[in-house]
């Protein structure tokens, strides 16, 4: 495996030498030759086939398994031409955590990836982004493009690049960053195994055995390169297209991580370990906060086989939003009757082999594949004894009603679209997604009425992993209102309890009425807010020191009001504060109590102790990365990071993976140079006081406000230091910068005129 930069440099020097030699042979065309030579070398310098990361040198696997395609016949996917999709003539807005990829005036010829790709349709989506089918602009070749956050996609691309060219890995991954999103383009695949099962409706025993052997083989290939997937499930295996339609591929390495060092030694075990993966398919040990290992990927393969065999998992009826996973652990360990999970002995023996493995053990993949290599007579015997139930579209993100749709004008299939500018037929239906990772949605006629017909839907103004926030108006008087929509049985009922406890508290968003359930989703009307603090900070030209101190004092007061009710927010960040609208446009309001907690019960402070991580990775306190219970001091420390963002000095935004807790802890304690986080003494004292508080110590909020109230002369002195700016800025005319930020302000709109409400669920950054 070679470093691409080295290869490019060698190729450049070699070709340049040949061109120079050629020009020397042609003395009569020296002028032309020199010009052509210069242009050619310049183009070669810009040519980079792959210029992102180095390939990871790894030792060969210790227990290789021969790839015998005859011995591991793959299941053959069915062909279908009736799959629903977004038509290219429909305007579509793809949002990934607040970043809008497609602009309003790009209908119908949407292009992205620096105009290399033309949008065809959305083919998959999840809590972290979407996957689109595209065509290469110059060749018309079909590709797939995954769109998500920059932090997540950079890590995933490194994994894809380390596995490049291996069997079962999508080929030719290329990385782009565009309009605040990251894109990975790669080989377009066919159906994933989840959709394959649902469209085929009923599998055979032989197909499940074949699929199981293929999955184990692909997992072995990944493990041989020091990587564990950490999110094995049926939907993360897909078939190829064309000549590869009978080949299985493993996809979605968004949660993958290394389990070995470069020298082949195992990474040190660290427990308790923050949970990562899909709750339904992760191993039993993961629920017990065990450090992920190859054995856990293999146990997830076993659970995937169980779903293929049974049509559902024994724990599907449990509450996936319940933080107590003890029932999941019990059911995954042995079922309800203690007789095991599988009715077929071969799969039960496979699960037993996997669970005997210790953290540092190397699995015997060959023995596992041989265990599932059974003769035809045994397959016939099992087929007589066991019948695989028919699929009922249990997990599909596609509504059953859409399965036969062929005319794109019949209805409009939306993914967080701005409906105010959509062209929809009068008799068509609209599907408004409320939780992309579950496929829950509201089916309504063209004029959407929410909240039992009391609120008319206008547009989506914020999205998150668990749901959306819509802007609407009351049917009775036309006044504006926000409606938060989530899957029924999720966090919204618990969040409403906190809003009820904080009713009429200054600085807390107000709610209207009760929680209402419609079509498997829950709706909660609330006060419509204006620009959130994240956008406000982005729109600042330079650093306005008085404004920073003023915002800081307001945030301290808001948190004091919340803490006075025995509640901590646990997810303090700029996007969870917003300005009011109209007469309240100068007020700062806090919202999104989905991760909130009580620090006092019956007037007694809760005890300190270990706790699963909760919060947003860039904004949580340093102590939160030690997986400890949070208190009032942690909310205040997160608030100090908001003030730090005014100076654009947060240096840890690139660390968002679940295994970055130690690095984040070091960064947040004092920066990489140990000199502290703030250049301003008052703000450094503010943070120092917060970190001096004991777990159950009540902060002195008046003292905190005093830290943020320097004299007018002192603020002028600080302002003059920041107005100097770096030396290179003196050579730049400020007028283009002012025009650029004025354009941004016009785009966001004034707080009283436009709702720029960004609902951002914390589980995007934590599991």
Catalytic positions, written as ranges? 231
The total of other beta-carbon atoms located within 10 Å of residue 601's CB is 9
The shares of helix, strand and coil residues in the chain, as percent rounded to the nearest 5, are: 35, 15, 50
Q: Which residues pair with 99 in a beta bridge?
A: 96
- Rg, C-alpha atoms of the chain: 28
Asked if 58 contacts 224 with a C-beta cutoff of 8 angstroms, the reply is: yes
Using alpha carbons, select from 669, 574, 671 the residue that is nearest to residue 626: 669
Q: Which two tokens stand for residue 652?
A: 């840890």
478 by Cβ neighbours in 10 Å (0-12 / 13-18 / 19+) ranks as: exposed
Q: Which residues pair with 579 in a beta bridge?
A: 588
The total of other beta-carbon atoms located within 10 Å of residue 673's CB is 6
Q: What is the largest CA-CA distance in the chain?
A: 96
- Angstrom CA distances, 261 to 160, 207, 220, 275, 360, stand at 18, 37, 17, 22, 13
Q: Which two tokens stand for residue 536?
A: 């406000």
Strands 142-148 and 181-187, sheet pairing: antiparallel
Using alpha carbons, select from 653, 683, 652, 648 the residue that is nearest to residue 538: 648
Q: How far apart are CA 205 and CA 220, in angstroms?
A: 23
End-to-end CA distance of the chain: 34
Using alpha carbons, select from 307, 291, 157 the residue that is nearest to residue 237: 307
Phi, psi at 69, each rounded to 5°: -65, -30
From start to end of 429-549, where are the E strands? 430-435, 440-444, 449-450, 455-463, 467-474, 480-487, 516-518, 521-526
- Angstrom CA distances, 693 to 611, 637, 665, 683, 704, stand at 19, 11, 18, 16, 12
Asked if 266 contacts 757 with a C-beta cutoff of 8 angstroms, the reply is: no
Token pair 């839907």 is at which residue?
457
Helices marked H in 311-362 — which ranges?
Answer: 326-334, 345-355
Q: What is the dihedral of CA 68, 142, 201, 319, to 10 degrees?
A: 100
Helix axes 294-310, 345-355, angle to 10 degrees: 160
At residue 26, the 3 state secondary structure works out as coil
Q: How far apart are CA 639 and CA 559, in angstroms?
A: 9
């Amino acid at each position: 495996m070679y470093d691409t930069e080295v290869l490019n440099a060698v190729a450049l020097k070699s070709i340049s030498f040949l061109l120079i030699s050629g020009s020397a042979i042609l003395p009569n065309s020296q002028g032309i030759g020199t010009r052509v030579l210069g242009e050619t070398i310049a183009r070669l310098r810009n040519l980079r086939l792959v210029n992102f990361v180095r390939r990871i040198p790894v030792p060969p696997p210790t227990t290789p398994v021969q790839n015998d395609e005859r011995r591991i016949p793959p299941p053959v996917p069915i062909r279908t031409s009736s799959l629903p999709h977004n038509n290219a003539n429909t305007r579509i807005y793809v949002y990934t955590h607040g970043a809008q990829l497609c602009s309003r005036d790009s209908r119908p010829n949407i292009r992205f990836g620096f105009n290399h790709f033309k949008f065809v349709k959305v083919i998959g989506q999840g809590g972290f982004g979407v996957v689109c089918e595209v065509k290469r602009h110059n060749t018309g070749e079909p590709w797939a493009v995954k769109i998500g956050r920059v932090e997540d996609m950079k890590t995933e691309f490194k994994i894809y690049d380390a596995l490049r060219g291996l069997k079962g890995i999508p080929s030719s991954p290329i990385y782009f960053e565009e309009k605040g999103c990251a894109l990975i383009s790669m080989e377009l695949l066919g159906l994933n195994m989840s959709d394959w099962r649902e469209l085929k409706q009923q599998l055979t025993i032989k197909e499940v055995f074949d699929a199981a052997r293929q999955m184990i083989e692909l997992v072995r290939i990944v493990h041989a390169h020091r990587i564990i997937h950490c999110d094995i499930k049926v939907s993360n295996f897909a078939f190829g297209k064309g000549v590869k339609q009978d080949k299985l591929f493993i996809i979605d390495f968004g949660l993958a991580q290394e389990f070995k060092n470069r020298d082949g030694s195992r990474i040190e075990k660290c427990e308790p370990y923050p949970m990562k993966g899909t709750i339904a398919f992760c191993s039993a040990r993961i629920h017990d906060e065990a450090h992920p290992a190859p054995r856990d990927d293999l146990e997830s393969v076993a659970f995937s086989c169980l779903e293929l065999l049974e049509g559902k998992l024994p724990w599907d009826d449990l509450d996936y939003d319940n933080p107590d996973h003890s029932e999941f652990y019990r059911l995954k360990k042995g079922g309800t009757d203690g007789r095991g999970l599988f009715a077929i002995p071969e799969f039960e023996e496979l699960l037993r082999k996997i669970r005997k493995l210790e953290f540092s053990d190397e699995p015997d993949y060959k023995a596992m594949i041989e265990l599932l290599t059974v003769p035809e007579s045994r397959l016939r015997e099992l087929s007589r004894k066991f019948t695989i139930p028919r699929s009922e579209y249990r997990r599909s993100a596609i509504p059953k009603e859409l399965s036969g749709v062929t005319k794109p004008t019949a209805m409009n299939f939306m993914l967080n679209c701005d409906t105010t500018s959509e062209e929809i037929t009068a008799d068509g239906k609209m599907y408004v997604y409320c939780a992309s990772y579950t496929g829950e949605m509201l089916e309504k006629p063209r004029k959407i009425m929410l909240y039992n017909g009391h609120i008319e839907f206008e547009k989506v103004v914020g999205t998150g992993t668990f749901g959306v926030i819509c802007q609407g108006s009351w049917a009775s008087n036309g006044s504006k209102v926000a409606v938060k929509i989530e899957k029924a049985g999720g966090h919204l009922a618990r969040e409403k309890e906190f809003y009820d406890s904080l009713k009429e508290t200054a600085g807390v968003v107000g709610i209207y009425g009760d929680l209402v359930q419609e079509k498997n989703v829950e709706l909660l009307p609330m006060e419509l807010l204006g620009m959130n603090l994240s956008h406000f900070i982005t729109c600042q030209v330079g650093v306005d020191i008085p404004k920073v101190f003023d915002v800081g004092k307001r945030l301290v007061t808001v948190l004091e009001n919340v803490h006075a009710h025995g509640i901590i927010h646990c997810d303090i960040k700029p996007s969870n504060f917003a300005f009011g609208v109209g007469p309240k446009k100068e007020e700062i309001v806090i919202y999104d109590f989905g991760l909130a907690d009580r620090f006092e019960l019956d007037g007694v402070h809760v005890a300190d102790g270990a706790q699963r991580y909760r919060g947003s990775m860039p904004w949580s306190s340093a102590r939160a990365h030690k997986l400890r219970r949070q208190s009032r001091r942690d909310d205040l420390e997160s608030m100090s990071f908001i003030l730090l963002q005014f100076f654009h000095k947060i240096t840890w935004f690139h660390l968002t993976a679940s295994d970055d807790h130690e690095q984040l802890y070091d960064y947040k304690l004092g920066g990489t140079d140990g000199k502290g986080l703030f250049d301003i003494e008052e703000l450094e004292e503010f943070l120092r006081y917060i970190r001096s508080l004991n777990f159950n110590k009540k902060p002195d909020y008046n003292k905190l406000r005093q830290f943020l109230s320097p004299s007018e002369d002192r603020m002028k002195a600080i302002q003059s230091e920041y107005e100097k700016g770096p030396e290179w800025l003196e050579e730049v005319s400020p007028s283009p910068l002012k025009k650029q930020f004025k354009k941004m302000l016009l785009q966001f709109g004034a707080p009283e005129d436009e709702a720029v409400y960004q609902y951002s669920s914390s589980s995007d950054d934590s599991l």
